[in-house]
Structure 1
Amino acid sequence: MEILIKDFNELSIEELYQVLQLRSEVFVVEQDCVYQDIDGKDQNALHILGVKDGKVIAYTRCFDKGFYFDEAAIGRVVVKESERKNAYGHLILKASVEAIKERFKTDNIKLSAQQYLTNFYESHGFMQMGEGYLEDGIPHIAMIK
């Protein structure tokens, strides 16, 4: 898997289409969650794309501190279902943490994790903060690194 790091205006139309398609495929269809994915924040995000054979199969969006949280943030962490067995989630998250360090000059990162993935995020140095909560009907918890 090749990692691409792009600002919103650097994304090609095809890349943007594939990102939105992947997010919809996983967060809306697979997780059976009706929510507004296109939320007006993509234009301010740093986009981390995992590309294999010309297709976006993994993705995150990252924000500088002060935009989403007081800390830098990682969101929309997603890997195509058929590719999860390849540990691409670990690669895309590691690339996202490194991109935040390089671009935003901080190691302090926060994310809103689906609770069933806490072990995954903990393996990357994130720690749970506070109590769990529902976000779009799915149990989440804040995590910080």
Structure 2
Amino acid sequence: MPVPLREPGGLTLVDGPDLTGRDVHAIWTIRDVVFAVEQQCDEPDPDVVDLQPTTSHLWLADAAGITSYLRTYVSAAGVRRVGRVCTRKDARGSGLSGSLMQHVLDRWGTERIDLGAQAYLHDWYAGFGFVRDGEDYVEAGIPHVPMTRPPA
């Protein structure tokens, strides 16, 4: 079992089963603020994916908590997915989510990677090599675009 990566002031990468209670609280705090409060998503955030063995949580933090976060996991269909990408309001615009996405590509870029992009972020994900892979849809009350990135 790999040891969770926890670099002081740097990237943290923890697999679902290795999350501590403190980790879960910090993750759900940023996701709640961004998705439930700011974006007023109409679906609950916590799900069974968070604790699965194929799920990895990546984040950056400062003294106030997580600044930017995402999770990646292997779906039931055997395809790696990225989701729950979010950045704390006071840390936006500083490239933190881009750093996390680049880490995902560096680590898992030889695999196909799928995601459901909020529609307004289509071009941002396209900058990482993702392309549209279907029709728009609404999830949690927000327009999304299915996207995929072929193996590098």
TM-score (norm 2): 0.84
Question: 1:32: how far off?
Answer: 1.3
For 1:89 and 1:69, how far apart are their aligned partners in 2?
A: 26
Q: How many residues align?
A: 139
For 1:76 and 1:37, how far apart are their aligned partners in 2?
A: 9
Identity over aligned residues, as a percent? 27
Preserved contact between residue 60 and residue 96 of structure 1 (Cα < 8 Å) = no
Pick from 34, 41, 44: which aligns with 1:33? 41
CA-atom RMSD, angstroms?
A: 1.6
In the alignment, structure 2 segments of 5+ residues that lack a partner are 1-8
Q: What is the match of residue 2 of structure 1? A: 10
| Bigger share in helix | 1
For 1:74 and 1:68, how far apart are their aligned partners in 2?
A: 14
Matched, 1:125 2:135: no
Matched, 1:75 2:83: yes
For 2:117 and 2:140, how far apart are their aligned partners in 1?
A: 12
For 1:100 and 1:52, how far apart are their aligned partners in 2?
A: 26
TM-score (norm 1): 0.88
Q: What is the match of residue 68 of structure 2? A: 58
- The residue identity in structure 2 corresponding to 1:99 is R
For residues 67-119 of structure 1, what are the alpha-carbon distances to aligned partners after superposition, in whole Å with 9 as ceiling and x for unaligned?
25542110101111110121111111111223334xxxx42100000000011
Preserved contact between residue 15 and residue 56 of structure 1 (Cα < 8 Å) = no
Q: What is the match of residue 47 of structure 1? A: 57
In the alignment, structure 1 segments of 5+ residues that lack a partner are none
